[in-house]
Amino acid sequence: MTDYKSQLLDRFHNRTAKVGVVGMGYVGLPMAVEFARAGYTVIGQDINADKVAQLNDGISYIGDVPTEVLAPLVQSGKLCATTEIADLADCDAISIAVPTPLRKTKDPDMSYVLSAADAVAEVCHPGLLVVLESTTYPGTTEEIILPRLVHNGLTVGEDVFVAFSPERVDPGNPVYGVHNTPKVVGGVTPACVEVVTALYEPAVEKVVPVSSTAAAEMVKLLENTFRAVNIGLVNEMAIMCQRLGVDVWEVIEAASSKPFGFMPFYPGPGLGGHCIPIDPHYLSWRLRALNYNARFIELASEINTQMPYHVIDLVMDALNDDGKALRGAKVGVLGMAYKRDIDDVRESPALDVFHLLEQKGADVTFSDPHVASVHLPEDRIAESQPLSAEWLAAQDVVVIVTDHRAFDYGFILEHARLVVDTRNATKGYVGRARVVRL
């Protein structure tokens, strides 16, 4: 009997393995680059032909992957891209990194994972390691991925190896990337854990094995639920402080002086990105099937999703203090990305703020150095405006939703009349504008 485990371990250790990555987005591309930098030959697969063409030209469309890093890998033949899953047929390992969004009902949309699993099953062969990296509910790997790979008689842990390793990408983080963020891995069998650990060890600084795929799936949900719940707490604290006439930012700063027992979280206009607003609902959905109500998750979600409405109330009150109504007012939104210094608008609270302001009858425009345009309801597109003195002066109120470092806050306060600051970005700056903080 062929010892496929030993063959894979040898190929991973001597870097002769060929690795496929399904999904060349915010997760898949950075991982593919680290695999290639480690010495593997990597094939990225994506259904988007434009992305594939850009990658094969050595041009990056992901901010965390500079073109000057990507291009040499493409030119050396270590990394290429394709739209065809068949091109992954001779890979030793395939990583699945496709989106896992929520439906409007806040139930998991597993269509991308199902499609990717079916595609990988078409090229599955003895001696293949398949790793799911897409964030999902506990049980997904064994319930969706595994059956599709062993239906033809292959034995998991002997002929084919199946594992889960949660992505931990933090877009725009200047300190932690794929390489130096510990990689959690869980396998269906102990042999699967051994093989998947060997795959990642050359590409990341530290691998953290856990006992099962379900444990690894739960790790990611705990991480982001922890953040969502604590952000929900501090968002509610911000609302309470506003009612009490207390500066929540001063309170947080003072509380942070305690060297133990406290970790600062900061309020904002709402949650954005693909992970924190979405991942806890995967856990909540899974637990509902077991007749358990994840109360912390549901409450935190309720508070966080209401924050854009709280921002609108702040804007209305600030305008009222100037004797103006929101209807008909010119409102400039600063920042459309979901967090500072990136171009990602997925689930961005700025989109909600923009839409709610329009619903109230305001004339809304935005400026963002990282986002050229955004899609609005009714197939409309809004273009980013230059952050000029003229544009600032023309606004009845400027709302800071995303605190990009590229914004000159002294310049903003000098030329705007009224600023609603949801990120405490203007702290320490002075100007003629009146500032209302979250």
Can you spell out the DSSP letters for 381-419?
EEEBPP--HHHHHH-SEEEE-S--TTS-HHHHHHH-SEE
Chain segment 337-384, per-residue pLDDT in tens:
999 999 999 889 999 999 999 999 999 999 999 999 999 988 899 999
DSSP letter for each residue of 314-357: HHHHHHHHTT--STT-EEEEE--SSSTT----TT-HHHHHHHHH
Query: What is the rounded CA–CA span in Å between residue 50 and residue 419?
Result: 40
Query: What is the rounded CA–CA span in Å between residue 370 and residue 380?
Result: 19
Q: What mean pLDDT do residues 119-125 have?
A: 96
Query: What is the rounded CA–CA span in Å between residue 303 and residue 339?
Result: 19
Q: What single-letter DSSP state applies at residue 106?
A: S
pLDDT at 103: 78
Which is more confident, 170 or 205? Answer: 205
- C-alpha radius of gyration, the chain, whole number: 24
Query: What is the rounded CA–CA span in Å between residue 256 and residue 234?
Result: 13
CATH number of 4-211: 3.40.50.720
Tokens of 362: 């305001």
pLDDT at 378: 85
Catalytic, 124? Answer no
Chain segment 46-94, per-residue pLDDT in tens:
999 999 999 999 999 998 899 999 999 999 999 999 999 999 999 999 9
Name the residue ranges covered by the structural domains of the chain: 4-211, 307-437
Contact yes or no for 73/36 (Cβ under 8 A): yes
Q: Give the SS3 label for residue 345.
A: coil
Tokens of 205: 């600084």
**Run of H or E including 421:** strand 418-421
Examine the pLDDT at 170 and tell me if it is beyond 90: no
Examine the pLDDT at 207 and tell me if it is beyond 80: yes
**Which is the catalytic residue, given 91, 192, 241, 275?**
275
- Label the pairing between strands 79-82 and 41-45: parallel
Phi, psi of 37 (to 5 degrees): -65, -25
Examine the pLDDT at 15 and tell me if it is beyond 80: yes
pLDDT at 44: 97
Categorize the per-residue pLDDT at 396 as very low, low, confident or very high, splitting at 50, 70 and 90: very high
Examine the pLDDT at 129 and tell me if it is beyond 90: yes
Examine the pLDDT at 273 and tell me if it is beyond 80: no
Kindly state which CATH superfamily the domain 307-437 is placed in. NAD(P)-binding Rossmann-like Domain (3.40.50.720)
Q: Give the SS3 label for residue 58.
A: coil
pLDDT at 377: 85
pLDDT at 272: 83
Phi, psi of 388 (to 5 degrees): -105, 160
Query: What is the rounded CA–CA span in Å between residue 238 and residue 379?
Result: 34
CB-based contacts of 375: which residues, under 8 Å, 6+ apart? 381
Query: What is the rounded CA–CA span in Å between residue 337 and residue 401?
Result: 9
User: Does this chain's domain 4-211 share its CATH topology with 307-437?
Assistant: yes
Of the candidates 299, 311, 324, the one whose C-alpha atom is nearest the C-alpha of residue 242 is 311
